[in-house]
């Protein structure tokens, strides 16, 4: 599921970068190309919304943290920028048909729009860099988890060996105790035999002397 979320985020980053590039082209496009670019941009916005909805569903299902709100806010800024370009383009065309007196102001507005495009491009690069950092962090986390899993297996094997060694020591201890008990029993029997022999010798000497 994490791989699917990463795929959606990557598709979203590529799509927003494409939208930003098309908005930049829209600012300097001719009347013939402007309508086609607008249709493509609107289609891209719909696709981006669909991606965000799918990404939000996947994030909810996995219980992972969601960056969907940040993506939506960024998409809203791009959409506002697109609307601003459309409005400014329409105003520019109307003024051109009526009079050329505001040409200097239109150039200033175009420069402002270009500056905004550069800002959006920088924002897109920042998002792409952030996404790369997230991927690297997830890869490091996966490597750490794999290492911890290997250490856990090693500890479990060591614990199993310790249990086997403890059982062997217990069996050895029981065997030694049994041998000691038998040795004590044999010694007791030997002492009793010596006592009986001594008593018999004493009785024999007594009867012999008597």
Give the pLDDT score at 102: 44
pTM as predicted: 0.41
Which of 3-7, 96-100, 101-105, 203-207 is predicted least confidently? 96-100
Give the pLDDT score at 90: 54
Give the pLDDT score at 100: 35
Give the pLDDT score at 204: 83
Reported as a single tens digit per residue, the pLDDT across 105-144 is 545 665 666 666 677 777 777 777 777 888 888 888 888 8
Q: Read off φ and ψ for residue 29, nearest 5 degrees.
A: -75, 155
Report the percentage of the chain scoring pLDDT > 70.
Answer: 82
Question: How much is the mean pLDDT over the chain?
Answer: 79
Which of 38-52, 130-144, 149-163 is predicted least confidently? 130-144
65: pLDDT strictly greater than 60: no
184: pLDDT strictly greater than 60: yes
Domains of the chain, with CATH numbers? 2-156 (1.20.58.400)
Residue 86 near residue 38, CB atoms below 8 Å: yes
Give the pLDDT score at 99: 36
Give the pLDDT score at 95: 41
Most confident of 16-30, 84-98, 134-148, 168-182: 168-182
How many Å apart are CA 175 and CA 209, to the nearest integer?
Answer: 51
**How many CB atoms neighbour CB 94 within 10 A?**
11
Reported as a single tens digit per residue, the pLDDT across 73-102 is 888 888 888 888 888 765 444 443 443 344
**How many CB atoms neighbour CB 27 within 10 A?**
20
Residue 88 near residue 31, CB atoms below 8 Å: no
**How many CB atoms neighbour CB 35 within 10 A?**
10
């Amino acid at each position: 599921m994490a791989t699917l979320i990463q795929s959606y985020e990557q598709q979203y980053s590529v799509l927003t970068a494409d939208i930003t590039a098309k908005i930049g082209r829209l600012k300097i496009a001719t009347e013939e190309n402007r309508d086609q670019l607008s249709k493509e941009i609107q289609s891209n916005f719909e696709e981006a919304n669909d991606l965000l909805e799918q990404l939000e569903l996947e994030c909810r299902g996995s219980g992972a943290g969601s960056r969907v709100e940040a993506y939506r806010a960024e998409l809203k800024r791009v959409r506002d920028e697109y609307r601003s370009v459309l409005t400014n383009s329409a105003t520019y065309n109307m003024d051109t048909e009526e009079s050329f007196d505001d040409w200097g102001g239109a150039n200033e507005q175009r420069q402002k729009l270009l500056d905004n495009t550069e800002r959006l491009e920088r924002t897109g690069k920042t998002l792409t860099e952030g996404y790369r950092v997230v991927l690297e962090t997830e890869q490091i986390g996966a490597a750490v988890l794999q290492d911890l899993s290997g250490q856990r297996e090693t500890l479990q094997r060591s614990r199993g060996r310790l249990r086997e060694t403890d059982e062997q020591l217990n069996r050895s201890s029981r065997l030694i105790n049994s041998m000691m008990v038998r040795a004590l029993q044999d010694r007791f029997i030997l002492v009793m035999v010596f006592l009986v022999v001594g008593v018999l010798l004493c009785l024999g000497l007594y009867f012999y002397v008597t």
